[in-house]
Structure 1
Amino acid sequence: MARNNSFIRLEGTLDGLTFYRKNGESFVKTKNRVSKNRIMNDPAYARTRENMQEFGGAAKCSKALREAFAAITRLVSDSYVSSRITGKFRSIVGNGTGLRGERLYNIVDHVTQFIGFNFNIDKLFDANFNAPSDGPVINAGRDTVTWDIPDFSTDTYVRKPEGATHFKLALAAGYTSNYEWETATKSYVPVEDVPNGIGVVTYSDAIAIGGMVGTATNLTADLTAYAPIPATTALFGATAIVFFQMVNGELYELAQGHSMKIAVGG
């Protein structure tokens, strides 16, 4: 990679050179001429193939987690959430059993690495909502998550975006199976198909911004329909806040300002 100091600012590929801009500067690099066939068959690229296989596994784990929270992710996620979640999964495969390129994605034993993950890196949940509570709790059967928030002052503990008059707290919960390499298909597959990628979201009533709520808020994410839960499937619980504006007695969901984080796993 080299900087392009010419007064001509090209972008794109020309004669094997790729011109592009990054952080306000112009760069040029040579086009990669290594063929796909060589990457997939040359022994010199064995490590590359291993990394590609495990990256594919991380992408499938990421998709399952995002599907588990699909009912709310469109509200609370940034445009990079997919790649950020994939990166989180990629970081745990080094501890998995098996050969490189085929190592187990043991999510169940690494749920703590996901605690605190924010779906929007620019809208941190704890910055928007920090009322005292013990946080969500997973029951022994791992098929129910509860979150009890004592009465609190919305002026003190809620950071509202411009135009917000109300908000709802939300508790989302969903499952992601461990993933293993399947030789027959040469791909990663979930150890258990069900309830992999399944989740629910429950919302509080709308709460007016200004003063005390006036009562405790109790949320329950009920997943008992999928019990008993396989030991190779992880359950994640996420807390969220969604903002609204009241106009002529009707609540309208704001286009931005919402946030969510993974708060518990088991």
Structure 2
Amino acid sequence: MGTLSSGVEFTGAVGTYTFYRKQGSDKIFVRQRRNGGRKKKKKELSERVQETVTEFSLCASTSKAIRWAIRDIKHLADYNFTPKLTGLCRHPQKLDPVGKRGERSVLISQHPSYFAGFNLNKNHLFDSIIRHPLQYSIDPVAGIARVELPELQQGVSLFLPWPVPQFRVIMALGLAADQLFDASGKKDSFSPGTTVATTGWLSSTEQHKGQTFELSLPMPAKRPKDRGISYVLSIGIEMEITVLRGSGGIRKAGAGKIVDLVAVGG
């Protein structure tokens, strides 16, 4: 993979080369597509490799479930966080007390601390923008989360990384199910909804009183009976940034994170 410093202002494929931009960068990158040999089928791989492939697949499914639960704020990420989240899933997977290697499940509900506090950003973290501790609670029985935003004032509790006129805070509550090993290869079909609460658009030059929000997400009637389920609370701060590149315009920017996960009892 290479980068182009000047002379190319388009993206797309030309011959065997692909020109593209990465999220969070104005540079144009180029890579050459390779025509490799025939891809081996899973059954043609060694037993050890098959075990690794199976477990990685479960980690990918776990990452997908969590991304679905935080889909209302994931547009605030400044990089592709999916590989990092997928890799993080390996840690709780290794703690599966039942499955042997190649058959270990990812039990989100038993190890929520691995995912709590996960940041969607590299350049500007949510906690570096809103610096007062966030107060919250999650009631997994009632399916209700309460979030208390602190008083927000630029330079005191709020440190916006860009000179923007306004911003807003987005809170979301979703659900994620444990990903269990299934010898039949059955895919996860649990895709519940989410609930969202937002502040209005707030002026960056004014002081704003603290606010309390309540998010309610009842457990769906159709839910996996054999898997643990966790409520996932996430939060983000969103700004509108003027884009100078090309024809200009406005894009969404900001920061977000997973606040906490709480398992549903029963």
Assess same fold via TM > 0.5.
yes
Q: TM-score, normalised by structure 1?
A: 0.72
2:152/2:158 contact within 8 Å kept: no
Matched, 1:222 2:211: no
Give the drift of 1:71: 2.6
CA contact 2:59–2:86 (8 Å) conserved in 1: yes
Alignment partner of 1:205 is 2:200: yes
Are the structure 2 counterparts of residues 48 and 108 from structure 1 closer, same or farther at C-alpha, using a change threshold of 3 Å? same
Partner of 2:237: 241
Q: Sort the Cα spacing of 1:94 and 1:245 in 2 relative to 1 into closer, same or farther, 3 A.
A: closer
Quick one: structure 1 residues 228 and 83, their matched pair in 2 at CA, closer, same or farther if it must change by over 3 Å? same
Q: Distance in 1 between matches of 2:222 and 2:37?
A: 52
Which letter maps to 2:159? R
Tell me if structure 2 keeps the 8 A contact 1:240–1:259.
yes
Question: What residue in structure 1 maps to residue 128 of structure 2?
Answer: 127
Write the distance in 2 (CA, Å) between the matches of 1:165 and 1:70: 25
Preserved contact between residue 72 and residue 201 of structure 1 (Cα < 8 Å): no
The percent of aligned pairs where both chains have the same amino acid is 20
Offset of 1:261 from its aligned partner? 0.8
Q: Does 1:118 align with 2:113?
A: no
Mapped contact 2:234–2:257 kept (Cα < 8 A): yes
Contact 1:141 1:228 in 2 (8 A): no
1:111 CA displacement: 0.7
Residue 232 of structure 2 aligns with an amino acid whose one-letter code is F
Q: Which runs of 4+ in 1 moved over 6 A?
A: 31-35, 227-231
C-alpha spacing 1:205/1:35, structure 2 compared with 1 (3 Å): closer
**Which of these two proteins has the greater Rg computed from alpha carbons?**
1
Matched, 1:61 2:55: no
What is the RMSD computed on CA atoms of the aligned residues?
2.9
- Name the SS for the 2:156 alignment partner: helix
Q: CA deviation at 1:255?
A: 2.3
Counterpart of 1:15 in structure 2 is none
1:179 maps to a residue whose letter is Q
| Distance 1:254-1:243 versus aligned 2 partners, 3 A rule | farther
Change in Cα spacing, 1:228 to 1:182, as seen in structure 2 (3 Å) is closer
Match of 1:149 in 2: 149
CA–CA distance in 1 between the matches of 2:107 and 2:133?
Answer: 33
Letter of the 1:36 partner, please give it: K
Deviation at 1:197, TM superposition (A): 4.9
Q: Report deviation, 1:227.
A: 6.8
How far is 1:59 from its partner?
Answer: 0.7
Contact 2:58 2:105 in 1 (8 A): no
CA distance in 1, matches of 2:164, 2:117: 25
Q: What is the alpha-carbon distance in structure 1 between the residues aligned to residue 222 and residue 149 of structure 2?
A: 28
Correspondence 1:37-186 to 2 at 5 A: 37=41, 40-41=43-44, 45-74=46-75, 76-96=76-96, 97-134=98-135, 136-141=136-141, 143-184=143-184, 186=185
What is the CA deviation profile of residues 143-173 of structure 1, one whole-angstrom value per residue up to 9, with x for unaligned ones? 1111012434233122223341111111112
TM-score, normalising length: structure 2: 0.72
* Code of the aligned partner of 2:235: T
Q: Secondary structure at the match of 1:258?
A: strand
Q: Count the aligned residue pairs.
A: 220
**Pairs within 5 Å for 1:185-204:** 186-187=185-186, 189-190=187-188, 193-194=189-190, 196-204=191-199
Q: Which letter maps to 2:78?
A: D
Q: Whole-Å Cα distance in 2 between the matches of residues 197 and 80 of structure 1?
A: 23
Aligned to 1:28: none
Paired with 1:159 and 1:100, the residues of 2 have a C-alpha distance of 46
Any idea what SS the aligned residue of 2:181 has?
strand
Q: Residue 172 of structure 1 aligns to a residue in which SS?
A: strand
